[in-house]
Structure 1
């Protein structure tokens, strides 16, 4: 007798994205019952504003994880890109030139990581841990440790369309759709997935492994630079230590969304939902008046739980 195919309901429940959506809705309902302000349109927009920077960095991290890599320097690439933009503006250069400088800085930092990892064949985690210190040191040297104020240069990204939606949310949406499109509907994305699934097979099938590794790291660097623009638009300043914890939060969001350390697995949509879940939990704790120290503990627990959950499939196979 042939095995019965799982029903549509079972397929959906096995999908990480469906489970995340259910958890997010459950949290929203519960917190809204305690404090109705949580479900207000103003607070919902605030949540998306709060995750705007993390969301773009999560896209970068997700693409790298799917390719079989990882980058613990994305927070400091973001900061260095912002510092370069400040220096350009401080020297009287047009905003467009400053933005281009920031984008090039992000791309070059990512490319540097990709070149070293691809050519040396060393563990990406260790390489990017070291390069993170390098980028932080450069940013610290240039800034002198001071707060760099941008004087409202990027305030246009705060402009609210229809009086509700800040332009920066459209940037977050655009970058998410860009990552989704690249990974799902392009030859580049298919080859990146193949690379992450099995590097040796990818090489034997004719994929230039070195080139694609460098490319995905360079693209992730551009995403970091765009995240820097959104960060500056929100805060109107940047400091050399502004990128602290962004890499671990982006990693946690991606893993919660079903992207694994194995490479070749996970979706951009799931990663975005993982980021949204972290934003909802953080905002809910703020609404409920949870102590900041407790919030830090909860965030740590989420990261540990995310890593454990990502490894469950491997444990089942043993």
Structure 2
């Protein structure tokens, strides 16, 4: 008789999933089944569109953070970069600057933030977490200062389109999926993608083989910042305003999504498709708990336990910090 373990392995091979990815995907399915039985609203079209749209900002930021974490870096300043870049964009638009130019300048601001992070980590060799904890506060403080700690409304056809739907599906979801396709192709088929895994897996061997480790790490932080800026544009499109407090409570959600995706905390391992599944797991978990009227402190408790479980599984697989 075919055992459940054998059946799962057979399905995994058919779907071309790694063991880790299949396990994460199975957890996603189980979670969907659980919430579909416990809440009559979970599998409604309205709710599905709601949590997929809400996951787009988290998903884009997680895609950028994924690259940094494969290299062996953690960027905790993403939401502060989002707040600062969107604040600059909103102020420019309010003062009559065209939307295209305002968006371009906001992306440049994000790149400058990423360059500061990258230079500190790659060239000054400061610990990534310490670096981005510091810059997180600096970027957030600047966002508060230039907005005078107020929300700034943003309007325009472009933002209406990005915040709208196409064929019934939120445009932000298309953007998020496009980002994941681009990252997947870049990591699998480009020289930089191969260097990302090489540096994360064994920086000493990478250096000996001639890879410029500093530039790989530098660009890892730059990509993370660019992802934050893109997520910021979607945030403004959905909310209709920029707020300096954006993401104050969402910092760990991005890190959690990447960890849930099966990335190795020691670097060098991980698949971007796993991160996408991790994003949906976190989005569905949050959505399901809201539908079940779970108190906010219990939601934080559950998310904390999920992080610990994911880190424990990684350590069992031989990961963990170097």
What's 1:256 paired with? 260
Is structure 2 residue 159 aligned with structure 1 residue 160?
no
Aligned 8 A contact 1:249 1:303 in 2: no
Deviations 1:153-205 (A, max 9, x none): 5121122222x112111111111111111111211100111011111111111
Secondary structure, counterpart of 2:41 in structure 1: helix
Deviates more, 1:288-297 or 1:220-229: 288-297
Aligned 8 A contact 1:157 1:167 in 2: yes
State the alpha-carbon separation in 2 of the partners of residues 238 and 87 from structure 1. 10
Question: Residue 7 of structure 1: CA displacement?
Answer: 7.0
State the alpha-carbon separation in 1 of the partners of residues 176 and 284 from structure 2. 16
State the alpha-carbon separation in 1 of the partners of residues 123 and 316 from structure 2. 32
State the alpha-carbon separation in 2 of the partners of residues 300 and 18 from structure 1. 23
Question: Residue 47 of structure 1: CA displacement?
Answer: 1.3
Secondary structure, counterpart of 1:38 in structure 2: coil
Aligned 8 A contact 2:195 2:211 in 1: yes
What's 2:229 paired with? 225
Seen in structure 2, the aligned counterparts of structure 1 residues 289 and 56 have a Cα distance that, compared at 3 Å, is same
State the alpha-carbon separation in 1 of the partners of residues 319 and 22 from structure 2. 23
Question: Residue 86 of structure 1: CA displacement?
Answer: 0.7
Aligned 8 A contact 2:266 2:319 in 1: no
Pairwise mapping of residues 110-129 of structure 1 onto structure 2 (< 5 A)? 110-129=114-133
Aligned 8 A contact 1:84 1:102 in 2: yes
What's 2:99 paired with? 95
What's 2:277 paired with? 273
Question: Residue 280 of structure 1: CA displacement?
Answer: 0.7
State the alpha-carbon separation in 1 of the partners of residues 35 and 8 from structure 2. 27
Aligned 8 A contact 2:119 2:218 in 1: yes
State the alpha-carbon separation in 2 of the partners of residues 167 and 59 from structure 1. 17
Unaligned 5+ runs, structure 2: none
Secondary structure, counterpart of 2:42 in structure 1: helix
Question: Residue 22 of structure 1: CA displacement?
Answer: 1.1
Pairwise mapping of residues 205-216 of structure 1 onto structure 2 (< 5 A)? 205-216=209-220
- 1:16 corresponds to which of 20, 27, 40: 20
Is structure 2 residue 245 aligned with structure 1 residue 241?
yes
Aligned 8 A contact 2:188 2:194 in 1: yes
Q: What RMSD, in angstroms, separates the aligned Cα atoms of the two structures?
A: 2.0
State the alpha-carbon separation in 2 of the partners of residues 286 and 248 from structure 1. 18
- Give the TM-score normalised by the residue count of structure 2: 0.91
Seen in structure 2, the aligned counterparts of structure 1 residues 126 and 315 have a Cα distance that, compared at 3 Å, is closer
Question: Residue 246 of structure 1: CA displacement?
Answer: 3.0
Is structure 2 residue 144 aligned with structure 1 residue 140?
yes
Is structure 2 residue 283 aligned with structure 1 residue 285?
no
Aligned 8 A contact 1:145 1:240 in 2: yes
Deviates more, 1:295-304 or 1:63-72: 295-304
Pairwise mapping of residues 181-220 of structure 1 onto structure 2 (< 5 A)? 181-220=185-224
Aligned length: 310
State the alpha-carbon separation in 1 of the partners of residues 7 and 36 from structure 2. 30
- 1:296 corresponds to which of 293, 300, 310: 300
Unaligned 5+ runs, structure 1: 1-5
Seen in structure 2, the aligned counterparts of structure 1 residues 296 and 9 have a Cα distance that, compared at 3 Å, is closer
Deviates more, 1:264-273 or 1:24-33: 24-33
What's 2:62 paired with? 58
